[in-house]
Structure formats: C-alpha cells, structure tokens
Amino acid sequence: MAQTDTWLGLAGRIAVVTGAGGGLGRAIAGGLADAGARLVLLDRDLPSCEETAAALRTRGAAATAMRCDVTDPEDVAAAADRTARDLGACQVLVNNAGLLRPGPIATLTLEEWNRLMSVNLTGYFLVAKAFGRQMLERKAGALVHVASIAGRHPQPWSGAYSVSKAGVVMLSQQLALEWGPSGVRSNVVSPGLVRTPMTDAYYRIPEVAERRAGIVPLRRVATTGDIADVVAFLASDRAGYVNGEDVCCDGGFGRVLMGLVPRPGFEARDPAEG
Ligand SMILES: NC(=O)c1ccc[n+]([C@@H]2O[C@H](COP(=O)([O-])OP(=O)(O)OC[C@H]3O[C@@H](n4cnc5c(N)ncnc54)[C@H](O)[C@@H]3O)[C@@H](O)[C@H]2O)c1
C-alpha cells in the first residue's frame, strides 16, 4: 500500500466517487484506494464503472460499482441507501461526474442549457444532499467537488459549462457554511487542462497538444494523478481545517494574464543564463 496511506489517514473510510468510469473519476478513485479507502463508484455508464472497480480490486482495494445517473433523484437515493446498507455511512464524497458540450450562448437552446446544468450543478446538489445526510448523522465527513478553472474564467462557446462550474464553487461554499458546524467540510478542486476521454480529441492533434502544453507555465498539461492527489488531500484529515476553499490545480495557467501584455524591455531571458 502507498505511503500516503498513513499520512492521509483515509484507510478504511467509505469514499463515494461520481463519474468513476471516466478519466478523472477513475484516477481519483485510484488515489483514494491507494490511501486505503473503500470505494463506492457511481456512473451512469455501468460497464466503465465496473472496469474501474475491477482495476482497483486487482490492486487489492475494496471497490463496488453502481449504476447511477446523478440527474435522477431516485437513482441517487437508491445508491445512497445501498451504500449505507451494504458498506456503511459515506465518509468522503467526490462530486465529479460532468459534461462538456460546445455551443455559443446566442444559439444555445433551453434544453441544452438544462441538460448540462442538470448534470454539472443539480447533480452535485442531489448527490451531496443524499450522501451528506449520512455524514451529518455521524457529525463527520468531507465533500470534494470537481469544478474547473472555467468556473473562474469564462470559457466561450461551451454552453452553460462555465456557469455550471461557477455554481459548483458557490454550492460548495454554501455547504461549508451550512454543514461546517456539524463537522462536515466542503471544498472544490478546480483542474486546468487535463487529458481525459472528455478532452482526448484535442490532444490527438499534435499541434493542439503542443500549443496546450505551451501556454501553461509548467509547460505540460495535468495528468489525472495531479488532480487525484489534491482531491485525496482535501478528503483527508490533513485538510481538517480547510473548509469552503477552491484549490486550483492548473500548473499556473490561471496566472498568465499579465504575461500576455507586450512590454518592450521586459522580454523573457533564459533564467539559466543568470
Ligand atoms: N478533462 C479536463 O480537462 C477537465 C478540466 C477541468 C474540469 N474537468 C471536470 O472533471 C470532471 C470529470 O471529467 P473527465 O475529464 O474525467 O470527463 P470524462 O468524460 O472522462 O468522465 C466523465 C464521467 O462522468 C460520467 N457521467 C456523465 N454524466 C453522468 C450522469 N448524469 N450521471 C452519472 N455519471 C455521469 C460519464 O459517464 C463519465 O464516466 C468533470 O466534472 C469535468 O467538468 C475536466
């Protein structure tokens, strides 16, 4: 078992991850499993979710996959009940299932707007409420919500995506205030650019992949493990006094604004040359 196991103190905890059949969800589940947590994996795509569970079990972790559409209150309630009955009360919840769809606001239909919001924002609310109840009863627990730097910086031509992610940040802050007195923390991780099935099509074009890496101060896009590490920290007691925060994990990409301004006499020099 990984050394993080003792430092994070997550061994034996029941951790629920939504969208666990996808890129980030799978890596987040893996990070929590390496820290000894017992995983409940939710996704509307059961075969992908089962694949994640099988991979975790071969690594010696306990993992149960459940089909659950986070937009459906009955599905969510059934998953929460089954978790409590078969495994025990949820102690860590990672709200991660999300969608990205192209579309300019000017022509976005109400149906498209509602579809995205129902997964990316209302889904987070429904799952937080159903599993959060189990945490409130025990007066302990940690919620981590995956938002995006698109929640801080408007991402054009992406329909309701940025709006939904900004909403997630405020939902988390509100939960931090309402549930903090009961010992339940709520925080956000905002990833920058990451290669997952959601974004894979861009990275299959070599020039696009190169340009994406080139605009990040660290000169690479994130691995899914980069994000999973931050989630594991926020889920753990090592972040026991962190509540209502939004941790950006973007290699510094959100800080590039002033570096874009032409300023003669202030050109970049190779730091190695002194
Ligand atoms: N990939 C990136 O560059 C990036 C950057 C910032 C934030 N994010 C966010 O990270 C999260 C995970 O994204 P990803 O890149 O792993 O995407 P992904 O498409 O690989 O995975 C998303 C998963 O969510 C599941 N899902 C979708 N709708 C669902 C529903 N209604 N109910 C249950 N499950 C559902 C899908 O089946 C899929 O397994 C999303 O919230 C996304 O907005 C991704």
The domain spanning residue 168 has which CATH number?
3.40.50.720
Q: Which of 68, 152, 198 should be mutated for ligand 1, with most atoms under 8 A from CB?
A: 198
SS3 108: coil
Which residues have CB under 6 Å of ligand 1? Answer: 18-19, 21-25, 43-45, 48, 68-71, 96-100, 119, 123, 146, 148, 191, 193-194, 196-199
Name the CA dihedral angle for 223, 227, 228, 229, rounded to a multiple of 10 degrees: 100
Q: Which residue owns the Cα nearest ligand 1 atom 17? A: 198
Identify whether the C-beta of residue 21 lies closer than 8 Å to the C-beta of residue 70: no
Closest ligand 1 atom, CA of 45? Answer: 37
pLDDT at res. 5: 62
188 located within any domain: yes
pLDDT at res. 39: 98
Own/partner contacts of 148-153, CB < 8 Å, gap of 24 or more, are 148/190, 148/191, 149/190, 149/191, 149/192, 149/248, 149/250, 149/253, 149/254, 151/190, 151/246, 152/190, 152/246, 152/248, 152/254, 153/254
CB crowding 27-55: b at 16 or more within 10 Å, else e: bbbbbbbbbbbbbbbbbbebebbbbbbee
Q: Which of 18, 42, 43 should be mutated for ligand 1, with most atoms under 8 A from CB?
A: 43
How far, in Å, from the CA of 19 to the mean position of ligand 1?
6
235 located within any domain: yes
How far, in Å, from the CA of 123 to the mean position of ligand 1?
12
Q: Which residue owns the Cα nearest ligand 1 atom 19? A: 198
Q: Which of 16, 18, 24 should be mutated for ligand 1, with most atoms under 8 A from CB?
A: 24
274 located within any domain: no
pLDDT at res. 206: 98
pLDDT tens for each residue of the chain, 274 residues long: 444 568 999 999 999 999 999 999 999 999 999 999 999 999 999 999 999 999 999 999 999 999 999 999 999 999 999 999 999 999 999 999 999 999 999 999 999 999 999 999 999 999 999 999 999 999 999 999 999 999 999 999 999 999 999 999 999 999 999 999 999 999 999 999 999 999 999 999 999 999 999 999 999 999 999 999 999 999 999 999 999 999 999 999 999 999 999 999 998 888 787 6
pLDDT at res. 268: 80
Q: Which residue owns the Cα nearest ligand 1 atom 21? A: 22
How far, in Å, from the CA of 264 to the mean position of ligand 1?
42
pLDDT at res. 270: 80
* Tally of domains in the chain: 1
203 is catalytic: no
Query: What range defines the domain where residue 89 resides?
Result: 4-247
pLDDT at res. 273: 76
95 located within any domain: yes
21 backbone dihedrals φ, ψ, rounded to 5°? -85, -10
Closest ligand 1 atom, CA of 118? Answer: 31
Q: Which residue owns the Cα nearest ligand 1 atom 36? A: 19
272 located within any domain: no
258 located within any domain: no
The predicted model scores a pTM of: 0.97
184 located within any domain: yes
How far, in Å, from the CA of 22 to the mean position of ligand 1?
6
Closest ligand 1 atom, CA of 97? Answer: 24
DSSP 112-135: HHHHHHIIIIIHHHHHHHHHHHHH
How far, in Å, from the CA of 270 to the mean position of ligand 1?
38
pLDDT at res. 271: 77
